[in-house]
Structure formats: structure tokens, C-alpha cells
């Protein structure tokens, strides 16, 4: 395992490095091992690329070696909270506080109060938090787009990479799709007002048409038979 990041590095860069290390371990264990064992094929490679852990690992590496955007840390932070909570509930707590055995060995063990509390927290706030992550990822695209418009160094390469990442997230995540639908509905409501100039409506319709054309052109399922994109609820 790689050594911890140097304490001399800025806090933001150390957090990115730590997140990348965790993602590398997870990807190697769950995704790369079957391929290295000799079961690599086209479907396996596509599944590897489509895996959200691989995608977030790639973006973590991009953020690590590109201009730092503080907003980019927030989605990783939200995910980390739930990853730590779930791992603690399913692995750490049963190990550190094993359930006491009752008089009847066939009886179900008494649930741990702390594990139950964490489980309720995850169940109650997961959907809301994933919606927040989706919103932040869309907001981050807008922030990068502004940098590209201002011709900041490396911003055009970054907007291309992040657009591909967000397009993949849209194809996989119901939360990202929901946030885009809400955004479209809000802008439709604003543009549909009587006080809105017709030119603004035409521009908005042109933007929507371009986005739909980009969506259709980048639909991997049309080009790879038998490998439709799997939608996820994250």
C-alpha cells in the first residue's frame, strides 16, 4: 500500500491523494482482479470502464494533477461519509463489539444499538445526499465551463474530461437524471414567462437540442451490442 501523503502538502491535495489511494484499493480488489486472472473480454472491459468506482478514481487523479477546484471535494466528501458509515456498521462494529451470545444458541443475536443508529442514518439521508451529490456535480460542470469561457489554463481539456464523466453519470445514476430534469423544468418555467424575449427562448431551445444531440451521439449502448448501460441509484 502506498505511504500516506506528506504532511508538507496542502490539506486539499492530501485529501485528494487519500481518496485516490482508497479508490485504487477498491478498484483493484473488485474490478481488476478478475481481469488479471485471465477473464478479460470486451464485456469485462466495458464493465470496468462503466464501474462508478473506476470513474471516480479517474476523476480523483484528474483533480490531483490539474487545477484544484474546492467544489470538486464536496461530492467525494459526501460519498466518504456514507462509505465510512456503512463500513463501520457492517465490519468495524461487529468486530469491536460482537453481539453477545444468549442462552439459546439458535436465537438471533441482539442488534447493536450503534450499528442500528448508523443504519437508520444511512437509510434516512442516503437519497437526499445522493441528490445533493448530483446537484454539486452539475454545478461543478458550470464552474469549469466558466473557466473555459475565460480561457484559463487547461480548462478546455478539463471541461472535455469532466463532460465525459458527467455524461456517464447521467447514464448510470437516477439522481443525476432527476437533477437534470429539475434544472430543465426550472429554466423552462423562467423562459416561458411572458416577459422573456423570444430570442432567449430560441437560445434555450437551441441549447436543449444540442444537449439531446450530444446525449444521443454518446450513447455507448448504440455502438456496443449486448452491453447496455446499467442505471444505478447512486
Chain segment 39-64, per-residue pLDDT in tens: 445 556 667 777 788 888 888 888 88
Give yes or no for residue 176 having a pLDDT over 60. yes
Residues in the chain: 234
Q: Would you say the C-alpha torsion 116, 119, 123, 126 has a positive or negative sign?
A: positive
What's the pLDDT score for residue 196?
84
Is 125 buried (19+), middle (13-18) or exposed (0-12) by CB count in 10 A? Answer: middle
What's the pLDDT score for residue 227?
47
Give yes or no for residue 178 having a pLDDT over 90. yes
What average pLDDT does the chain have? 78
Report yes or no: 4 and 24 within 8 Å, Cβ to Cβ.
no
Q: Which residues pair with 173 in a beta bridge?
A: 232
Q: Which residues pair with 232 in a beta bridge?
A: 173
The model's pTM = 0.72
For residues 194-218, average pLDDT: 88
Angle at 68 between CA 140 and CA 73, to 5 degrees: 55
Percent of the chain with pLDDT over 70: 69
Q: pLDDT tier at 7 (50, 70, 90 boundaries)?
A: low
Angle at 73 between CA 82 and CA 50, to 5 degrees: 70
Neighbours of 96 (CB within 10 A): 10
What's the pLDDT score for residue 94?
84
Amino acid at each position: 500500500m502506498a505511504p500516506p501523503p506528506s504532511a508538507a502538502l496542502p490539506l486539499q491535495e492530501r485529501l485528494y491523494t487519500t481518496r485516490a489511494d482508497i479508490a485504487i484499493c477498491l478498484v483493484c480488489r473488485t474490478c481488476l482482479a478478475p481481469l488479471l486472472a485471465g477473464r478479460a473480454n470486451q464485456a469485462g472491459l466495458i464493465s470496468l470502464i462503466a464501474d462508478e468506482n473506476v470513474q471516480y478514481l479517474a476523476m480523483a487523479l484528474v483533480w490531483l494533477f490539474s487545477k484544484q477546484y474546492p467544489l470538486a471535494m464536496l461530492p467525494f466528501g459526501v460519498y466518504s461519509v456514507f462509505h465510512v458509515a456503512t463500513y463501520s456498521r457492517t465490519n468495524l462494529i461487529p468486530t469491536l463489539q460482537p453481539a453477545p451470545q444468549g442462552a439459546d444458541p439458535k436465537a438471533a443475536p441482539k442488534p447493536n444499538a450503534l450499528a442500528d443508529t448508523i443504519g437508520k442514518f444511512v437509510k434516512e439521508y442516503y437519497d437526499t445526499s445522493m441528490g445533493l451529490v448530483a446537484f454539486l456535480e452539475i454545478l461543478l460542470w458550470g464552474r469549469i465551463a466558466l473557466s473555459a469561457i475565460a480561457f484559463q489554463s487547461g480548462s478546455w481539456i478539463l471541461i472535455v474530461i469532466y463532460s465525459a464523466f458527467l455524461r456517464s453519470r447521467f447514464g448510470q445514476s437516477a439522481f443525476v437524471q432527476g437533477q437534470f430534469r429539475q434544472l430543465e423544468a426550472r429554466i423552462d418555467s423562467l423562459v416561458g414567462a411572458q416577459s422573456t424575449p423570444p430570442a432567449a427562448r430560441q437560445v434555450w431551445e437551441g441549447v436543449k437540442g444540442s444537449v439531446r444531440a450530444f446525449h444521443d451521439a454518446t450513447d455507448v449502448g448504440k455502438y456496443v451490442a449486448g452491453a447496455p448501460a446499467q442505471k444505478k441509484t447512486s
